[in-house]
């Protein structure tokens, strides 16, 4: 086959070509000298005809639109306030081991049993068993888990979120975030800081000693300091300010952690172990992460269970599988294998050492933070050798798959426009754009801990499965032009 | 005169015109339909022939270039470290009233006497006299100043800088910034916070009570906490980090103030009045300003007195006049009338209430911060209804009048390039671009205080006068191609 110059085909006028589809479509005429604009377009629903038809039926569907408007307004109406610090067994009936006599642990992501858990999550279980005194050695803790004597439940099933392994045991302190208007609550564990942490699957006396100190010293000091703040601490205000200070409140929490400490520093200084506690908090740049996650959980779960709503209320990863939940599909998980992370590694480690994507922290992205607010934190793109421009592009892309923008969370690099919030299942499948997540990287073997950080995404397969399960509401209502806003049925 | 279409003059080809000079040059052909690029160019030295010739003689002059390289390297070599808090009479011989029996006050900007002082600076003098017990009422303090019983000296003449009125009296605490390599020191007073402050010319029991508390409680607590830090606090590290967090370290110090408090919070919590002091610092978003200024003073004064160097070592304003100092011109001030500020005003106030530009804080700009690092703090441009793009443009413009970029102070919006630092007298006059300053606005009447914030600039007249005074070194050295780097002569 001989190559005919594009100019010759089209005559003397310069050729301006818009190419849609696979990159080759643009490359061929470009090589031939044409001026080609490659459109970033993929066929809806990855080109699967049945799904694409279903997507078309749900698009601009009056009942879906009304349901999404309701779900989004519920999400945005939540005002997350830090109210308290309590032990997990006080907060969550499922962990009330003294009443039930059961040994239960929570973990990150969709449900899975001990037999399928990845290395860092198993390390979290072993560490928690040692902390609770259920075993005396890591080996004994492993045998206990092998024997089936520990039950496992996802954090997400109990209004709780935990970063990385996300293992929560009865004696661990939880932070309590509350929506004052409704009294609804969500929980997260307390952040251990950087370095060797149980959430990354590190094990050792240093890790356990810190967890005991957090339960025995840190938690009571925080409780005491919070008593001086009967209205609690407004986490929306802290988040909004931190977005002006280089944080995206998932993988960068430097400003938010300082702002949160500032709210309580004077009160903490009055407590018995004030200097020690202030010293720990001043050195923990990730301190706010778990608050960001609990605030996100509280807000997105307010949007859950709205019939016909295509809003994504959760994205969570257990290190083996990742899964999403969709408002109109209730508590069901739609899962896919956990993805690899494009990241930077600590010296001596590389991609072969990395566990696949893990942790509940991607709840931040369902709330408009993390990857969705990446333009607020261009420093994070350094994780993957990226630039300011890439951070801005990702935040702009995320706005193509969300239902609205957050009125309080504004992105300074985008002229103060709100963070894109409320992932729409339909928009993800229509555009083929997947949610971008900023995340840490655990070593795949138990006992080692964090080895890097980077960017990952929610795989399209989760969204395909959710669309397959999504019922198309009767269209008669839309035909009348008067949408029924009965979302309670 | 009839208008001839530009196209008709030039024939059928589309006209592309580059216009240089006054805006009309571009507007006329643009109105006629031509595609006009207006170059941002002004004639050197404002088109004054004698100055322009002198500027040409100094341009690419080997001895000037060598002197500037030396001055800039001295500036960049300084590592500002917060070492101590002492009273002004302990730090500065001129204020040692107990030894001298004299009543001396320092003030911002170039020298001026009581008779010429503006309202807010007079209020600062009155407040200081009350604080020192030199008078019992504001009226008596005013009469004391009228009588000539108080001597006035610029802060800048005593290694000191003070924001706004900049009045420093013997009992006031000063922060001490030191360069460990040389032992050189610079000083500033402590920042009172927002609202009604003496530095803005507010007067009242609230203002004086706070100053007394700062001397009696705050300063001893800081001294005590610093004792736990024998190496002091590295202000370069704090500044570098704050630039990544939305501060330009002149008019926005939110992140830097938090970072600085974090360095000492645990130690402060151990001091007698820890909770009270931490509460004050946590609520003071301007706390770092005076540290930024002292660090800038220490660094720029290291570059002072290099013969033949055109580096600007100070820009300071006393509310009546503004002035610059130039390295090769020693301690001389080159002044112009104080400019008005383009700003936003608090409710109830407007430009007619504003005092002209005042304060030593523009030392930040001579150190590459403030307006020069505006791209780090686009929020500041909101003061004048500006945008992210304007902030970036200003930082880029400032790089056209500076000798280098700061290796540690990096601007995230500009891809991490260093802040432009080292204002070159020649470049200002060659381009007509004047240094942009971010600043607060005082009410012109004494006793009221801050009424807004905005942007201002160093007027060209100061630079004209400095160029007039600048000696052109013998050119023989340059002709040999071997520049003499003897800058000690």
Task: Reduce the secondary structure of B237-248 to three states and give it as a string.
Answer: HHHHHHHCCCCC
Instruction: Report the pLDDT averaged over residues A340-349.
Output: 92
Band the pLDDT of B479: cuts 50, 70, 90: very low
Using the beta-carbon criterion (under 8 Å), do A255 and B258 form an inter-chain contact?
yes
What pLDDT is attached to residue A5?
A: 54
The answer, yes or no, to whether residue B2 has pLDDT greater than 70, is no
* A275 and B CB contact within 8 Å: yes
Instruction: Give the gap in angstroms from C-alpha A343 to the nearest C-alpha of chain B.
Output: 20
Instruction: Report the pLDDT averaged over residues A126-150.
Output: 98
Q: What residues does CATH 3.90.1710.10 cover in chain B?
A: 80-294
The SS3 call for residue B486 is coil
Instruction: Report the pLDDT averaged over residues A112-134.
Output: 98
What pLDDT is attached to residue B487?
A: 43
The answer, yes or no, to whether residue A12 has pLDDT greater than 80, is no
Instruction: Give the gap in angstroms from C-alpha A266 to the nearest C-alpha of chain B.
Output: 4
Contacts of B31 (CB under 8 A, 6+ apart): none
Q: Which residues of B touch A392 (CB under 8 A)?
A: none
* From A255, A262, A378, residue closest to B282, measured CB to CB: A262
Instruction: Give the gap in angstroms from C-alpha A228 to the nearest C-alpha of chain B.
Output: 13
Three-state secondary structure along B401-423?
Answer: CEEEEEEEEEEHHHCCEEEEEEE
What pairs with residue B175 in β-bridges? B85, B188
* B267 and A CB contact within 8 Å: yes
Instruction: Report the pLDDT averaged over residues A375-389.
Output: 82
Residues B58-73 have pLDDT tens digits of 999 999 999 999 999 9
The Cα B439–Cα B380 span in angstroms is: 10
Q: Which stretches of B117-192 are DSSP H helices?
A: 119-131, 138-146
Nearest to B155 by CA among B411, B401, B333: B333
Q: Which residues of B touch A237 (CB under 8 A)?
A: none
What pLDDT is attached to residue A482?
A: 45
The answer, yes or no, to whether residue A105 has pLDDT greater than 90, is yes
Contacting A residues, span 280-319, partner chain B, CB-CB under 8 Å: 282
Q: Which residues of A touch B268 (CB under 8 A)?
A: 269
What pairs with residue B312 in β-bridges? B326
Using the beta-carbon criterion (under 8 Å), do A388 and B268 form an inter-chain contact?
no
Instruction: Report the pLDDT averaged over residues B191-201.
Output: 93
What pLDDT is attached to residue A483?
A: 44
Indicate the DSSP class of residue A23: H
Q: Structure pTM?
A: 0.88
Instruction: Give the gap in angstroms from C-alpha B277 to the nearest C-alpha of chain A.
Output: 8
The answer, yes or no, to whether residue A15 has pLDDT greater than 70, is no
Its CATH class, for the domain covering B47-76+303-480, is alpha beta
Contacts of A125 (CB under 8 A, 6+ apart): A105, A107, A114, A117, A141, A145, A150, A152, A167
Instruction: Give the gap in angstroms from C-alpha A265 to the nearest C-alpha of chain B.
Output: 7
Average pLDDT of chain B, as a whole number: 92
Residues A416-452 have pLDDT tens digits of 899 999 999 999 999 999 999 999 999 999 989 999 9
What pLDDT is attached to residue A3?
A: 53
The answer, yes or no, to whether residue B12 has pLDDT greater than 80, is no
The answer, yes or no, to whether residue A481 has pLDDT greater than 80, is no
The answer, yes or no, to whether residue B489 has pLDDT greater than 70, is no
* A274 and B CB contact within 8 Å: yes
ipTM of the complex: 0.83
The Cα B250–Cα A420 span in angstroms is: 32
Contact in structure between B123 and B447 (CB atoms under 8 Å): yes
The Cα A153–Cα A130 span in angstroms is: 19
What pLDDT is attached to residue A195?
A: 80
Nearest CA in chain B to A284: B262
Nearest to A158 by CA among A150, A149, A146, A166: A166
Contact in structure between B296 and B369 (CB atoms under 8 Å): yes
The answer, yes or no, to whether residue A238 has pLDDT greater than 90, is yes
* From B265, B378, B387, residue closest to A278, measured CB to CB: B265
Using the beta-carbon criterion (under 8 Å), do B269 and A267 form an inter-chain contact?
no
Residue with more model confidence, A290 or A12 = A290
Most B-contacting residue of A218, A262, A288 (CB-CB within 10 A), to test interface: A262
The answer, yes or no, to whether residue A487 has pLDDT greater than 70, is no
Residues B364-422 have pLDDT tens digits of 999 999 999 999 998 787 777 778 889 999 999 999 999 999 999 999 889 889 999 99
Using the beta-carbon criterion (under 8 Å), do A265 and B265 form an inter-chain contact?
yes
Contacting A residues, span 351-410, partner chain B, CB-CB under 8 Å: 378-379, 387-388
Q: What is the CA radius of gyration of chain B?
A: 24
Most A-contacting residue of B218, B253, B262 (CB-CB within 10 A), to test interface: B262
Q: Which two tokens stand for residue A137?
A: 């050695």
Q: Which two tokens stand for residue A143?
A: 């045998």
The answer, yes or no, to whether residue B17 has pLDDT greater than 80, is no
Contact in structure between A378 and A413 (CB atoms under 8 Å): yes
What pLDDT is attached to residue A39?
A: 72
CATH no. for B80-294: 3.90.1710.10
Band the pLDDT of A137: cuts 50, 70, 90: very high
Instruction: Report the pLDDT averaged over residues A116-122.
Output: 97
Q: What residues does CATH 3.90.1700.10 cover in chain B?
A: 47-76+303-480
Contact in structure between B254 and B276 (CB atoms under 8 Å): no
Using the beta-carbon criterion (under 8 Å), do B282 and A259 form an inter-chain contact?
no
Band the pLDDT of B39: cuts 50, 70, 90: confident
Residues A303-335 have pLDDT tens digits of 999 999 999 999 999 999 999 999 999 999 999
Q: Which residues of A touch B245 (CB under 8 A)?
A: 245-246, 254-255
Using the beta-carbon criterion (under 8 Å), do B265 and A261 form an inter-chain contact?
yes
Using alpha carbons, list the distances in angstroms from residue B167 to A481, B190, B217, B220. 71, 11, 20, 21
Band the pLDDT of B482: cuts 50, 70, 90: very low
Angle value at C-alpha A190, between A185 and A195, nearest 5 degrees: 150
What pLDDT is attached to residue A13?
A: 58
Instruction: Report the pLDDT averaged over residues A199-217.
Output: 97
The Cα B190–Cα B277 span in angstroms is: 13
Protein fold of A77-294: Enterococcus faecalis V583 fold (3.90.1710)
Task: Name the least confident of B192-196, B234-238, B312-316.
Answer: B192-196
Residues B454-473 have pLDDT tens digits of 999 999 999 999 999 999 99
Most B-contacting residue of A246, A259, A280, A376 (CB-CB within 10 A), to test interface: A246
What pLDDT is attached to residue B124?
A: 98
Q: Which residues of A touch B266 (CB under 8 A)?
A: 275-276, 278-279, 282
Residues B102-160 have pLDDT tens digits of 999 999 999 999 999 999 999 999 999 999 999 999 999 999 999 999 999 999 999 99
Its CATH class, for the domain covering A49-76+304-480, is alpha beta
* From B254, B267, B270, residue closest to A245, measured CB to CB: B254
Residues A154-181 have pLDDT tens digits of 999 999 999 999 999 999 999 999 999 9
Using the beta-carbon criterion (under 8 Å), do B378 and A262 form an inter-chain contact?
no
Q: What residues does CATH 3.90.1700.10 cover in chain A?
A: 49-76+304-480
Residue with more model confidence, A384 or B249 = B249
Using the beta-carbon criterion (under 8 Å), do B258 and A254 form an inter-chain contact?
no
Counting one residue from chain A and one from chain B, the pairs whose CB atoms sit within 8 A come to 83
The answer, yes or no, to whether residue A71 has pLDDT greater than 80, is yes
The Cα A290–Cα A344 span in angstroms is: 23
Instruction: Give the gap in angstroms from C-alpha B251 to the nearest C-alpha of chain A.
Output: 15
Nearest to B377 by CA among B361, B394, B352, B402: B394
């Amino acid at each position: 086959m001989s190559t005919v110059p594009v100019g010759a085909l089209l005559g003397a006028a310069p050729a301006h070509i818009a190419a849609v589809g696979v990159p080759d479509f643009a490359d061929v005429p470009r090589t031939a000298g044409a001026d080609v604009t490659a459109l970033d377009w993929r066929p809806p629903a990855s080109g699967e005809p049945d799904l694409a038809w279903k997507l078309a039926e749900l698009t601009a569907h009056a009942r879906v639109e009304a349901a999404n408007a309701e779900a989004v307004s519920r999400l945005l109406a939540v005002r997350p306030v830090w109210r308290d610090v309590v032990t997990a067994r006080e907060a969550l009936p499922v962990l009330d081991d003294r009443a039930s006599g059961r040994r239960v642990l929570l973990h990150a992501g969709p449900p899975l049993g001990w037999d399928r858990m990845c290395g860092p999550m198993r390390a979290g279980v072993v560490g928690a068993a040692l902390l609770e005194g259920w075993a005396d050695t890591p080996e004994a803790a492993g045998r206990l888990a092998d024997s089936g004597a520990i039950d496992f439940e996802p954090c997400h099933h109990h209004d709780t979120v935990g970063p990385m392994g996300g293992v929560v045991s009865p004696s661990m302190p939880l932070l309590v975030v509350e929506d004052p208007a409704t009294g609804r609550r969500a929980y997260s564990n307390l952040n251990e800081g950087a370095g060797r942490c149980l959430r990354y699957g590190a094990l050792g006396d240093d890790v356990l000693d810190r967890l005991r100190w957090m339960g025995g010293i840190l938690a009571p000091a925080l409780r005491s300091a919070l008593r001086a703040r009967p209205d609690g601490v407004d986490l929306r205000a802290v988040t909004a300010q931190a977005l002006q200070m280089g944080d995206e409140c998932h993988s960068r929490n430097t400003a938010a952690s300082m702002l949160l400490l500032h709210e309580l520093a004077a009160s903490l200084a009055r407590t018995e172990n004030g200097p020690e506690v202030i010293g720990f908090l001043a050195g923990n740049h990730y301190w706010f992460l778990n608050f960001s996650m609990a605030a996100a959980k509280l807000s997105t779960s307010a949007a859950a269970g709205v019939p016909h709503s295509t809003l994504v209320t959760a994205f969570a990863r257990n290190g083996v599988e990742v899964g999403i939940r969709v408002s109109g599909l209730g508590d069901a998980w739609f899962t896919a294998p956990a993805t690899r992370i494009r990241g930077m590694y600590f010296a001596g480690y590389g991609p072969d050492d990395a566990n696949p994507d893990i942790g509940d922290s991607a709840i931040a992205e369902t709330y408009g933070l993390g990857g969705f607010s990446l333009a607020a934190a261009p420093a994070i793109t350094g994780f993957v050798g990226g630039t300011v421009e890439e951070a801005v592009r990702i935040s702009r892309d995320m706005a193509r798959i969300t239902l609205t923008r957050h009125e309080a969370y504004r992105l300074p690099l985008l002229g103060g426009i709100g963070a894109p919030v409320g992932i729409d299942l339909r928009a993800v499948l229509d555009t083929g754009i997947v949610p971008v997540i900023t995340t840490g990287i655990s070593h795949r073997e138990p006992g080692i801990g964090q080895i890097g950080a980077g960017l990952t995404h929610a795989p399209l397969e989760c969204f395909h499965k959710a669309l397959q399960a999504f019922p198309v509401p009767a269209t008669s209502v839309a035909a009348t032009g008067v949408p029924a806003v009965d979302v309670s049925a």
